[in-house]
Amino acid sequence: MSATLYYFDGRGKAEIARLTMAAANIPFNHETIREKKQFETMKSEGKLLFGQLPMVEFEGHQLVQSSSIARFFANRANLLGSNEEEKLKIDILFEGSRDFNSAFMSYGFVGFTEVLDKAKATAMPKYLPIFNSMLSKNGSNGYLVGSKISLADIGLLEVVLTIEELLGQDELKPYAEVQNFLTTMKSNELIHKYLNSKLRPRKNDEKYVAEVKSVLY
Amino acid sequence: MSATLYYFDGRGKAEIARLTMAAANIPFNHETIREKKQFETMKSEGKLLFGQLPMVEFEGHQLVQSSSIARFFANRANLLGSNEEEKLKIDILFEGSRDFNSAFMSYGFVGFTEVLDKAKATAMPKYLPIFNSMLSKNGSNGYLVGSKISLADIGLLEVVLTIEELLGQDELKPYAEVQNFLTTMKSNELIHKYLNSKLRPRKNDEKYVAEVKSVLY
């Protein structure tokens, strides 16, 4: 059964849901929210439990909260680990990837270069060595936990793709394991297909930021 | 087997771990971090994956990320739901409770009254009616999902206890289901025992805020 994702015309809080549905091989289409009226209608119809996007309709459910959506689909495709030890590691590393990712979430909303300068000064030198080390400790096989893709990888992938696109591959040069991880992820057939599809939104630009603000405020 | 929680002498990001360990009937003791040197030593020994507290030592694991710690212990005690539908609801409502709780996390750190004024103006009128409604839809039995305590309840409990203590019971009067929920939670033997023990830290005060800042900066 296919899913329908409701979100703005950009990545934002929905990108982890898109990446996870892609990796879990769940077909989905995108309902783009461009006008305040659409958003208000969804809220008044009770479709958004906390009055927020993204929301995913799937099998009669209205899934909200981006991490919950990701865990739900990851669970369907056995991407949460196969034993308690793996499940714990994947959960912790996914949460860490969310903290790391939050450094880039406001790109365009509180400036463009400002956000990147701050991420280069704080989040990147903090998190990249840690994830590089975890990839090494797991055997340098391109995965954070075990020997296949997990939600932890999907979480890290979102951030590393952002860094590559917004700051360039050179930023990853000191982190050989992260580079190897990125190659492994991009060679995943499902991930590759999604990243090269029209479902993958463009990076934030001024038009997107203005559209989101016009819906929310 | 008992757990050891490492955190500052207050609630903060560790309180959800404490409440969950209590509800899961996991005995724990508290190692209080009061000095920068303790914190730096833990980091240099590699005990803090992301260089952050809280950390819980349990069965040879060093658990980090507050939500991951909570889910780990909740899973041990079957507090994450008994089928996919329940698991999904509990995950979403727990995530919502984390967003709600974040409105109070900076109490004392960016002022005392300022934080409460802002929570009264925004987070409380947003989240309290939603949780009140979810409690009603679940049958007004004092639980958010199903007929026993879950991690969703523990997440909401943290916030409701904060509101009761910092703003007074009157704030909850418009929300009969939330009041009933609070009574149900407080009558839970394991929760009751924890809340009346020395393990439950006091609310943030100036001394606590100064101590945390001296460790972190």
Kindly tell me the burial class for residue B121, based on how many C-beta atoms sit within 10 Å of its own C-beta (0-12, 13-18, 19 or more): exposed
Q: B72 and chain A: CB distance < 8 Å anywhere?
A: yes
Q: Is the pLDDT of residue A1 over 90?
A: no
What is the pLDDT confidence band of residue A200, given thresholds at 50, 70 and 90?
A: very high
Q: Is the pLDDT of residue B12 over 90?
A: yes
Q: Is the pLDDT of residue B183 over 90?
A: yes
Residues B179 and B200 in one domain: no
- Dihedral of alpha carbons B53, B58, B62, B63, sign: negative
Give me the CATH number covering residue A121.
1.20.1050.10
- Residue range B177-197: mean pLDDT, rounded: 98
Q: How far is B95 from chain A (nearest CA, A)?
A: 7
What is the pLDDT confidence band of residue B120, given thresholds at 50, 70 and 90?
A: very high
Q: Is the pLDDT of residue B167 over 90?
A: yes
- Residue range A42-66: mean pLDDT, rounded: 97
- Residue range B124-149: mean pLDDT, rounded: 98
- Residue range B131-152: mean pLDDT, rounded: 98
What is the number of structural domains in chain A? 2
Domain containing residue B26? 3-76+194-216
Residues A15 and A70 in one domain: yes
Residues B207 and B162 in one domain: no
- Residue range B165-174: mean pLDDT, rounded: 98
Residues A55 and A8 in one domain: yes
Q: Is the pLDDT of residue B1 over 90?
A: no
Chain B residues touching A63 at Cβ < 8 A: 88, 92
- Residue range A39-56: mean pLDDT, rounded: 97
Tokens of A51: 């009055």
Give me the CATH number covering residue B8.
3.40.30.10
Nearest residue on chain B to A87, alpha-carbon basis: B72
Residues A104 and A171 in one domain: yes
Residues B14 and B72 in one domain: yes
| Subunit contact B88:A68, Cβ cutoff 8 A | yes
Give the closest of B50, B72, B88 to A88, CB-based. Answer: B72
Look at the block and give the residue holding tokens 């994956």: B49
Chain A residues touching B62 at Cβ < 8 A: none
Residues A168 and A96 in one domain: yes
Residues B24 and B90 in one domain: no
- Residue range A29-50: mean pLDDT, rounded: 97
- Note the ipTM here: 0.97
Residues B66 and B140 in one domain: no
Residues B66 and B145 in one domain: no
Q: Is the pLDDT of residue A192 over 90?
A: yes
Q: Is the pLDDT of residue A44 over 90?
A: yes
Residues A123 and A165 in one domain: yes
Cα B131 to Cα B99: distance, rounded to the nearest angstrom: 13
Residues B91 and B37 in one domain: no
- pLDDT one-digit tens code per residue, B74-113: 999 999 999 999 999 999 999 999 999 999 999 999 999 9
- Residue range A169-175: mean pLDDT, rounded: 98
